[in-house]
C-alpha cells in the first residue's frame, strides 16, 4: 500500500475507533432491553418482584451502557450529543433526560432507593430487609427506551458508513468494518 493511501486509511481507522466503543455499549444496552422483554418483566408485577435481581442486573446494565455513550471522559473523545442524535425531538430528549437522571441518582452513585422492612419473627429475632425500589418502566417506557437505543444505534451506524464510504471514494477500494459485533442483531 502506498504511503498516501496508508495515511488516509490510518486517519479513517482513528475516526472509526472513536465510534466502535459507543456501538459496543449500545449493543449491550439493546441486548439487555431485549432480554427484559423476553422475560416479560414489564407486563407482570409479580414476576418483577420474584425476579428482582435479574431485573436489576439487566436494568442497571441497560441504563449505564446507554448513558455512557453520552458522557465525556478523558479516554474517550467521541461522545454522542443528544441534540444531534435526537434532532429536536422534545419527547425523546425528555426521556433521555429521565434515563440520565436514573443513572445519576440511582444506578451510578449508590442512590438506590431502598424499601426497608423491620420484621420481628416468632423467635424474638428481628429481620432487617432491604430491597431496591427501582422505577419499573411500563410498556410505553420500554418503547421509548427502545426508540432511544434504535435511533442512537442508527446514528452510529450511519457515521461509520460515512467514514468507510468517504475512504472508499478517496482511495477507490471497497472498505468495510469487521469487529466483534458486526453480526449483532438488534431484535
Task: Tally Cβ neighbours within 10 Å of residue 3.
Answer: 7
pLDDT band at 66 (very low <50, low <70, confident <90, very high): very high
Residue 91, domain extent = 3-112+138-171
Q: Is residue 106 part of a domain?
A: yes
Q: Given pLDDT bands bounded at 50, 70 and 90, which one contains residue 138? A: low
Length of the chain: 187
Residues 6+ apart with CB under 8 A from 18: 76, 77, 78
Are the beta carbons of 70 and 100 closer than 8 angstroms? yes
Please say if the pLDDT value at position 48 is more than 60: no
Q: Tell whether the model's pLDDT for residue 116 goes beyond 70.
A: no
Q: How many domains does the chain have?
A: 1
**So what's the pLDDT on residue 85?**
95
157, part of any domain:
yes
Tens of pLDDT, residues 143-163: 888 999 999 999 999 999 999
What pLDDT is attached to residue 122? Answer: 72
* Residue with more model confidence, 52 or 136: 52
Looking at residue 128, what is its pLDDT?
Answer: 66
State pTM to two decimals: 0.79
- Asked whether residue 20 is domain-assigned, the answer is yes
Tell whether 71 is covered by a domain: yes
Residue 182: inside a domain, yes or no?
A: no
117 touches 110 (CB < 8 A): no
Task: Decide: helix, strand or coil at residue 120.
Answer: strand
Q: In whole numbers, what is the pLDDT of the chain averaged over residues?
A: 79
Examine residue 186 and state whether it is found in any structural domain, yes or no: no
Amino acid at each position: 500500500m502506498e504511503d498516501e493511501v496508508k495515511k488516509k486509511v490510518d486517519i479513517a481507522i482513528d475516526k472509526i475507533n472513536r465510534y466502535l466503543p459507543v456501538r459496543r455499549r449500545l449493543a449491550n444496552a439493546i441486548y439487555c432491553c431485549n432480554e427484559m422483554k423476553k422475560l416479560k418483566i414489564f407486563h407482570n408485577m409479580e414476576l418483577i418482584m420474584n425476579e428482582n435481581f435479574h431485573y436489576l442486573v439487566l436494568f442497571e446494565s441497560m441504563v449505564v451502557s446507554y448513558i455512557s455513550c453520552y458522557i465525556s471522559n478523558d479516554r474517550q473523545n467521541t461522545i454522542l450529543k443528544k441534540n444531534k442524535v435526537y434532532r429536536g425531538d422534545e419527547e425523546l430528549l425528555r426521556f433521555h433526560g429521565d434515563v440520565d437522571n436514573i443513572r445519576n441518582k440511582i444506578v451510578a452513585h449508590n442512590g438506590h432507593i431502598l424499601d426497608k422492612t423491620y420484621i420481628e419473627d416468632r423467635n424474638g429475632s428481628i429481620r432487617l430487609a432491604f430491597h431496591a425500589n427501582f422505577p419499573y418502566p411500563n410498556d410505553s417506557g420500554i418503547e421509548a427506551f427502545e426508540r432511544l437505543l434504535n435511533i442512537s444505534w442508527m446514528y452510529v451506524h450511519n457515521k461509520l458508513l460515512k467514514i468507510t464510504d468517504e475512504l472508499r471514494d478517496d482511495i477507490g477500494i471497497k472498505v468495510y468494518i469487521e469487529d466483534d459485533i458486526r453480526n449483532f442483531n438488534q431484535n
